[in-house]
Amino acid sequence: MFLNNKRLEIEGGKFLEGNINISGAKNSALVLMAASILSKGQINLFNVPQISDVLVMSKILIAMGMDIKSNANQLKIKTEKISPPSQDLFFDLFNSLRVSFFCIGPLLARFGKAKIPLPGGCLIGSRPIDEHINSLKKLGVIFKLKKNYLIAEVITPSKRLLGSSINFSCKSVGATETLIMAASLAKGKTILKNVAQEPEIIDLAKMLNLMGARILGAGSECITIEGVESLKGCDFRVMPDRIEAGTFLIAAAITRSKISLSQCEPNHLEEVIKKLELCGCKFKYSKNLITIIPNKILNSVNITTSPFPGFPTDLQAPFMALMTTAHGTSQIKESVFENRMHHVNELNSMGANISVKDNIATVVGVKKLEGRLVMGSDLRATAALAIAGLSADGKTIVKGLEYLERGYEDFSAKLQKIGAVISKK
């Protein structure tokens, strides 16, 4: 049963050609906005994607008392009047956006207390917050759970977080980002081991260092933070969105089309490019530009998702859509989330041949997909169905457009520009 009327309509089978400009990274921009809580000056963020998740995060920060001005892809954030959220009116905003939970680190660092609803977002697995909580406890925080809220308070005599040595039990991007932000204003040194190494973490450390933080080692497995008394404002440009770039590379491959991406960082996509090359795609590079040239016949390739620099879980669904049209049989193993294959049934309804057992999808390539009415269940699954529709015979209608708009800026307009027959309804 479809619960809303927002949809994409796609006439498949069109050859694409041209250039797509990659937007700022969703997964970086949202955390940088949370990090602005730490500042006592003005944060000017550039290259911020115009997506619904950014709008929700802006509403959350404004509800805390921040002054936010938006102009195209720029945000001006003033934090002088900020106060920690404590009222139930914040529940719906926080609960709709999982990354809003990461505000807990900067709130504790700046105010010594926080009351945060338990995180919501896409239903792709449990995504536990144990790593965040256990690590913050080592900085001097106690927690209470009241109804659907997590109440946190710094219990050190000075009400200031204290630096500590923390060894994460797993490579959690969210926990790494939360602890980097919290430790930036902690007293003393914090050493984080077994941290996530995603480029978005490097982006966060760069901005915090511009604000006056002392962070070393971002991008490695060990990060050292020397806490400072306060942080100032800064100007910062959000990195390009590697997941959007990967999505459009896969769109080019599934339509066997030559396209170029500008404002793109190939170093963030090494594993994705490697797999696409194994399929039969060629690449050309120039400054801030990458061009993909697929063969007419692509071969099946196995993938296993893993933390950076491995194959990103956020591109598992789009890559599976590509494999449905490849020659041979591939296996796609999802090792990051336990519930991220809702797109399988929808792809099968379009004529794909996919079976799943123990979080491993076996994909037997078919000659052609057929346009159908399909429903996206999360952000990346919806993107995967749209990509499948680009190559399918006939019309594909993709419901669940609100998921897509959480993470892709002008998705349909960018594809229209290079020849896709796609429209929002």
Q: In what order do the strands lie in the sheet with 234-237?
A: 67-71, 74-78, 42-46, 234-237
User: What is the SS3 assignment for the chain?
Assistant: CCCCCCEEEEECCCCCEEEEECCECHHHHHHHHHHHHHECCEEEEECCCCCHHHHHHHHHHHHCCCEEEEECCEEEEECCCCCCCCCHHHHHHHHCCHHHHHHHHHHHHHHCEEEEECCCCCCCCCCCCHHHHHHHHCCCEEEEEECCEEEEEECCCCCCCECCEEECCCCCHHHHHHHHHHHHCCECEEEEECCCCCHHHHHHHHHHHHCCCEEECECECEEEEECCCCECCEEEECCECHHHHHHHHHHHHHCCCEEEEECCCHHHHHHHHHHHHHHCEEEEEECCEEEEEECCCCECCCEEECCCCCECHHHHHHHHHHHCCCECEEEEECCCCCCCCCHHHHHHHCCCEEEEECCEEEEECCCCCECCEEECCCHHHHHHHHHHHHHCECEEEEECHHHHCCCCCCHHHHHHHCCCEEEEC
Residue 116 pLDDT grade (very low, low, confident, very high; cuts 50, 70, 90): confident
pLDDT for 425: 86
User: Amino acid identity, residue 244?
Assistant: E
Residue 100 has pLDDT above 80, yes or no: no
Give the mean model confidence (pLDDT) for residues 325-338: 93
pLDDT band for 119, please (50, 70, 90 cuts). low
pLDDT tens-digit map of 287-325: 879 999 999 999 999 999 999 999 999 999 999 999 999
The residues spanned by each domain of the chain are 7-23+240-424, 26-237
Task: Give the pLDDT band (50/70/90) at residue 88.
Answer: low
* Predicted TM-score (pTM) of this structure: 0.94
Segment 330-357 mean pLDDT: 93
Percent of the chain with pLDDT over 70: 93
Please give the radius of gyration of the chain, using alpha carbons only, rounded to the nearest integer. Answer: 22
Which own/partner pairs from 2-7 qualify as long-range (CB within 8 Å, at least 24 positions apart)?
2/375, 2/399, 4/399, 4/400, 4/402, 5/425, 6/399, 6/400, 6/401, 6/402, 6/424, 6/425, 7/397, 7/398, 7/399, 7/400, 7/401, 7/424, 7/425
Task: Among 3.65.10.10, 1.10.3720.10, 3.30.390.50, 3.40.190.10, name the CATH number for the domain at 7-23+240-424.
Answer: 3.65.10.10
pLDDT at position 123: 43
Averaged pLDDT for residues 28-48:
96
Bridge partners of 226?
189, 214
The residue ranking higher by pLDDT, 425 or 189, is 189
CB distance 353 to 331 below 8 Å? no
Q: Which tokens hold the place of 194?
A: 């077994």
Amino acid 343: pLDDT: 94
pLDDT digits (tens, 9 = 90+) for 371-410: 999 999 999 999 999 999 999 999 999 999 999 999 999 9
Domains 7-23+240-424 and 26-237 share a fold: yes
Question: What CATH number has the domain spanning 26-237?
Answer: 3.65.10.10
Per-residue pLDDT band for 113 (boundaries 50, 70, 90) equals very high
Mean pLDDT calculated for residue range 233-252: 98
Average pLDDT over all residues of the chain: 92
Q: Read off the pLDDT of each residue in 93-101 and give the average, rounded to a whole number.
A: 67
Query: How confident is the model over 350-380, as pLDDT tens digits?
Result: 999 999 999 999 999 999 999 999 999 999 9
Contacts of 113 (CB under 8 A, 6+ apart): 84, 107, 151, 152, 153, 154
C-alpha distance across the termini of the chain, in Å: 18
Q: How confident is the model at residue 87 (pLDDT cuts 50, 70, 90)?
A: low
- Per the annotation, the verdict on 264 as an active-site residue is no
Q: Is the pLDDT of residue 85 over 80?
A: no
The residue with greater pLDDT, 97 or 107, is 107
Predicted local distance difference test score (pLDDT) of residue 96: 60
pLDDT for the residue 339: 76
CA dist 242 to 121, 206, 238, 239, 266, Å? Answer: 20, 17, 12, 9, 8
